[in-house]
Amino acid sequence: MRKYPSFNSKLVLNTAISAVAGYRAKLNGFSRNACLFLVYVFLISLSLGIYEVIFNLYILRLGYREDFLGFMLSLVSISTGLSAIPAAMFCDRAGRKNTLLLSCSLLLLSFSILYTTTSKFLLAFFSIVYGVSSSLKIVTAPTFMVENSTSYERMHLFSMYYLLYTVGVMIGNFAGGNLPQIFTSFLDINPTGPAAYQLSLYASLAAVLISLLPLIFIDSKRNNLVERSAAFSTLFSTLRSVTIRKLILVNGLIGMGWGLALPYFNVYFDIVLGASPEQIGAIFSLSQLVMMFTLLFVPILTEGLGKVKVVALVQLASIPFLLLFISTSILAIAAFGFVMRSAIMNMSNPVLSSFNMEIVSEDQRATVNSLIWMSCYTFVGLSTYAGGLMMAHGLYTLPFLLTCILYVAATVLYYIFFEKMEKKQKIIDVSV
């Protein structure tokens, strides 16, 4: 009985060491473009980590209610979804590097305005610009990584992408949670007003600005321009695929569940649980730290179980922790539920991204990626507004319950649709 825990601890430690060693070996083989892209990802995630903790609270402290906040967030998501296909077409014509540069520039512009204006119109308009910026990055990143990696190292590159994103967000979350108190103390600012939150948001702009540098030094690969007629032909032929329609359905359900509740975690902590910005930042940061650890095991799990089984298992395993989060009024228990849900659920992200790109042809990747994210983010936007309306009327737990139901449905369908397909793909790969 005494040896069993010790054995398990050693097993976990050895597995972690093996995972880190695997990453180091693969990292040494990454291309220059892939490494520069990872630096860009880290810097962008640092900025988004500050935004994630502070922005919603800043809008509420400007005097706006949850319904307007939900409206703004829905505009971000809907514009992200609706601009996905144009973004993919632009990506194919202008090249991956230029698309990422445009995305970063628009992000810098939108954050600059969102952090300074109190005008409803400007807040709404530049929420749309932020969404377009996100769409350009989202449709480009997976395609860029596939094109700048070999099949042997690809899963590690995708995992490293999410790992560095997680580290950046973790640091940003911690900074975002503590900066308002720092500004309040040193500048004698009203702690209940928006000024300290606004200054904290300004701090995220520097990371966005610096993130332009690694993008500038990326080697731009020669891009075969796609004619507009050919692009639309690819789009329509892609939509005729049963596989693609299944991907769109599953991601639409995930997006609907995501939008209802996930943008409002900080609001729930703030209003329902009475957490301070420092506590929210620490909790968000801790969730990223745990997530970073769990992401190390993703390549090992996928090698042993397969991508589809890993996605299904981790998504279902995260749901009890989401229920725990909303079933308690004790901050520590709710924080534990939040941390575990985030860490487990997000283990599926690199697996989903990699698998989605592998089951389609090379000329369809940008289009398929845009269609997936269009369906996902359009439903995110619609459900985000619905979640904001529920919370504005005091129904703070209902969005989270509906999210659980939608996630279960999406996970079951994903397993039914793609488990056999993955087995057939493995047989083909082995025979080749």
Structure tokens at 413: 């369908």
Whole-model pTM above 0.75? Answer: yes
pLDDT at residue 15, as a whole number: 56
- Count CB-CB contacts under 10 A for residue 12: 11
Tens-place pLDDT, residues 96-112: 999 999 999 999 999 99
Query: Hey, what amino acid is at 374?
Result: M
Token pair 């701090």 is found at 203
pLDDT for 236 equals 64
pLDDT above 70 for 230: no
| Domain extent listing, the chain | 18-217+228-431
Indicate whether 9 pLDDT > 70. no
- Supply the pLDDT for residue 92: 80
* pLDDT beyond 80 at 425: no
pLDDT in the model for residue 432: 36
Residue where the block lists tokens 């308690």: 328
> Quick one: which H or E segment has residue 246?
helix 242-261
Check residue 372 and give its pLDDT: 79
Spatial separation of the C-alpha atoms in residues 223 and 286, rounded to whole Å: 41
Is 18-217+228-431 a CATH 1.10.10.10 domain?
no
Q: What is the pLDDT of residues 44-82, one digit of tens each?
A: 999 999 999 999 999 999 999 999 999 999 999 999 888
Q: Report in angstroms the alpha-carbon separations of 326 from 157, 266, 338, 341, 427.
A: 35, 13, 9, 12, 44
Stretch 330-341: mean pLDDT: 95
In sequence order, the 6+-apart residues with CB closer than 8 A to the CB of 377 are 77, 78, 80, 81, 84, 131, 135, 138, 255
387 and 70 in contact (C-beta within 8 Å)? yes
Question: Is there a contact between 359 and 129 (Cβ–Cβ < 8 Å)?
Answer: no
Please report the pLDDT score of residue 74 as a whole number. Answer: 93
| 301/174 Cα distance (integer angstroms) | 29
Residue-level pLDDT at 251 = 85
